[in-house]
Structure 1
């Protein structure tokens, strides 16, 4: 649905900023996301994704701004262009301007490969994600919600793409426990349950190892096209599987290389202290054997001729 309208507001320096809403990209429980043209904020007619909500409910988005500002130099993390407060229909609105990724999300990319990305390409994508996680962990953060929906795809050159980690609303400091409201019997995960490791259920521990488990789930999903722990009826059944299953979230394909199988086992160590770190995984043969000629290639360049992709990643 096209929703073209001009909006103006004030940035943190009190400067008036005007932008044009081009298209409604999605709706969430807290607000909306629009594709917008920014004639004055970051350049002439630059497209951006504008994440907007009532100012009274903008705490998590303002947190996202603070965190993303620390990673402006990273090519593996989505760029943030700043924030603006506007007055729309009598309501004070908080707007966060984010880099627009015309290739959609990693979930979309997996679908374009018909659910199974070739192993050489998976290696390249995995390396990109590890490089993004290295930046995040180096600053003492844990993403806590790493999944294909929260990884953006941007065209780079010809048929090549780069992956960028996005959606930092659930980021925590390392080594903190995630609180559970409603008492000890309530089952609550710090991020998306399907991608959570065992220690988040029993110890409620937040550590970089959480993101490594999630990364393993993503690698398996790229290879198999299946969601981790696919077919679970509810959170309790899922929690039991995560805690007591001796196998990874999905069956590791027999056709996967020995290096790939070993890489996944390092990500899925039950004890979080035994899981490999980002730096260790970057030195794993599964990553170091990556061939430049196969790096991050897409099925076809035509996929990027359509600019307006689903941007529901920005809607919680």
Structure 2
């Protein structure tokens, strides 16, 4: 049974964002996951699982979602080392384990780096911790909100160029992210001599990602995942997941950076079936302000193309005048 999660948008037009998630981990696959981490669920005298303590001290709560919480963590041995610690009780950590399997092998400056994982005893519970790069600049969604939806087009171009580089890397490695949106694009502060915005944009949150060619992916059909507001027509209408779904969601994200309001915001907060009808089975398109530059309008039209066969790939988009230096 699919699980629908709801998140609040950080944008000017605050709407609930429904996401379609991974299935809950089965008992057999859960036991397999534990075995792969050399974990047994024996009890000590206090009824707690016998595991080593965490090598990280969690401090500031950075966020909380359907699959766990994210904390700022500091190493117990290297006190100056800070990481983002994604954590969940072990029996509810299937999504984080899936994210770890994807992230652990990815190496790109435009992808949040994974430093490993651990299972540890914390406060008489068994926690799964995913150790990630800490991006202290928050997210694109935060930046849009902090600037009252008024990002300069020149800055949006830089952010878009970074995300395209990350998506191209993912697609070249047969990974479909499946949940591109402003909340999942993290900002890492950098020297303005190298980035005019002062940030390097990194793609994060791989809990819903899929690998083409995997048993889970199959022929690409029958999947319902991602955040409804950013979901592509073929995904909402037919449950089809491919690289084009990321391109559509990326186009929605660039549109929000340029316009400052939620994509499809004029329709308010719809029930799931209404989203399916609007995005998957109608001929309607997200509202694109006419005052945007000619280059921006053309770029968005290449991303927000209902026909997946006509939608541009990330390689084609990287050569569009809108994102060229």
Q: Structure 2 length as normaliser, TM-score?
A: 0.76
Q: Counterpart of 1:205 in 2: which secondary structure? A: coil
Match of 1:145 in 2: 179
Aligned partner of residue 71 in structure 1, secondary structure: coil
Matched, 1:18 2:52: no
- Residues 243 and 62 from structure 1, CA distance in 2 versus in 1: closer, same or farther, beyond 3 angstroms? closer
- Partner SS for 1:49: strand
Looking at structure 2, the residues matched to 118 and 221 of structure 1 have their Cα atoms a distance apart, in angstroms, of 12
Instruction: Determine which of 232, 235, 238 is the counterpart of 2:272.
Output: 235
Instruction: Give the whole-Å Cα distance in 2 for the aligned partners of 1:222 and 1:134.
Output: 20
Structure 1 residues 156 and 27, CA gap change in structure 2 (3 angstroms): same
The Cα shift of 1:246 comes to 4.1
How far the C-alpha of 1:128 sits from its partner, in A, is 0.5
CA distance in 2, matches of 1:52, 1:34: 8
Aligned length: 267
Question: 1:244: how far off?
Answer: 4.9
Which among 276, 291, 295 is matched to residue 255 of structure 1? 291
Offset of 1:102 from its aligned partner?
0.9
Deviation at 1:197, TM superposition (A): 1.0
Counterpart CA distance in 1 for 2:183 and 2:210 is: 19
The CA distance in 2 between the partners of 1:167 and 1:27, in whole Å, is 12
Counterpart secondary structure, 1:145: coil
Q: Does 1:90 align with 2:149?
A: no
2:67/2:96 contact within 8 Å kept: no
> Structure 1 CA distance, aligned partners of 2:67 and 2:180?
21
> Judging changes above 3 Å, is the alpha-carbon distance between structure 1 residues 31 and 227 closer, same or farther for their aligned structure 2 residues?
same
Q: Residues 232 and 238 of structure 1 are in contact (CA less than 8 Å); yes or no, is this contact kept in structure 2?
A: no
Whether 1:286 aligns to 2:286 is no
Are residues 105 and 170 of structure 1, via their aligned partners in 2, closer, same or farther at CA, if it must alter by over 3 Å?
same
Q: Look up the SS of the partner of 1:152 in the other structure.
A: strand
1:37 is aligned to 74
The 5-angstrom pairing of residues 107-146 of structure 1 reads 107-146=141-180
Residue 271 of structure 2 corresponds to residue 271 of structure 1 = no
Q: Which deviations, in whole Å up to 9, do the C-alpha atoms of 1:249-278 show, x marking residues without a partner?
A: 2x2222211111111111111111110000
CA RMSD of aligned residues (A): 2.3
Find the partner of 2:96 among 38, 56, 61.
61
Equivalent position of 1:173 in the other structure: 211
Distance 1:76 1:113 in 2: 23
User: 2:233 maps to which residue?
Assistant: 198
Looking at structure 2, the residues matched to 89 and 112 of structure 1 have their Cα atoms a distance apart, in angstroms, of: 36
In the alignment, is the contact (CA less than 8 A) between 1:30 and 1:54 conserved in 2?
no
Q: Is residue 264 of structure 2 the alignment partner of residue 226 of structure 1?
A: no
Distance 2:152 2:167 in 1: 22
Q: Which one scores higher on RCO, CA 8 angstroms, separation ≥ 6?
A: 1
- Within 2, Cα distance between the matches of 1:132 and 1:165? 7
Q: Give ranges in structure 2 of 5+ residues lacking alignment.
A: 1-35, 39-50
Structure 1 length normalisation: TM-score?
A: 0.78
Structure 2 CA distance, aligned partners of 1:215 and 1:121? 16
